[in-house]
Structure 1
């Protein structure tokens, strides 16, 4: 279930985007599941509907959600979504920045791998099987 941390430095819409992706990762949301309307989600999370709308638009542009006019917004099947090479390049750049920063702080490769495994376990232990 998505929660918003009002004290986080991360923007609310970014928290909602990550929260929905995390719910999909945990299996709380399955491909084809309908998610609440913008107004319903805004009411549930005590957020501005414009913020929820922005998050939904980001998720649609990332092929995580699909909106069917007159029916609602649904979780898109992963196999149905095209591979987004531009986002993958951005992710690689972020990883590169992380590795450089870790090296600067004398965090070795094994410790980074341990962090990834810890995080994976905290998300339910699902392996990255894509």
Structure 2
């Protein structure tokens, strides 16, 4: 699996399961993993990165809880279909929540909020161009 070769763990103080979760989410956002794609097994990830299986399980559990991954007993984990578009008020509320979470994470990392917003706008524009 191509995604296995792309996974990297950093000595950043961020828990390993969080690093894994974020890398998988990023791969989904970039289209490297698409809806219906089978995820590498937890064991494959643990062996490839030389980490404890329970650490990988925690990352997968969080991905499943977030609705990004679906576990099919006996078959494996698969990238979930994206949820349907939210309606007006719901969309605004979720957008605000996500923006607040992102700003808090940026502040915790010392990232300038305006620079972050400009980068997000640029990345969103690139994604639209690809479509």
**TM-score, normalised via structure 2 length:** 0.70
Alignment root-mean-square deviation, CA:
3.6
Distance in 1 (CA, whole Å) between partners of 2:68 and 2:86 is 10
Query: Could you list the runs of 5+ residues in structure 1 that have no partner in the other structure?
Result: none
Name segments (4+ residues, structure 1) moved above 2 Å: 79-99, 111-118
Counterpart mapping for 1:81-96 below 5 A: 90-95=97-102
1:9-63 per-residue CA deviation (whole Å, 9 max, x = no partner) reads 2111001001001111121111111111111110111111000000000000000
Query: Could you list the runs of 5+ residues in structure 2 that have no partner in the other structure?
Result: 1-5
1:12 aligned residue: 16
Counterpart mapping for 1:3-82 below 5 A: 3-5=8-10, 7-79=11-83
C-alpha spacing 1:60/1:82, structure 2 compared with 1 (3 Å): farther
- Structure richer in helix, relative to its length: 2
Partners of 2:103 and 2:113 within 8 A in 1: no
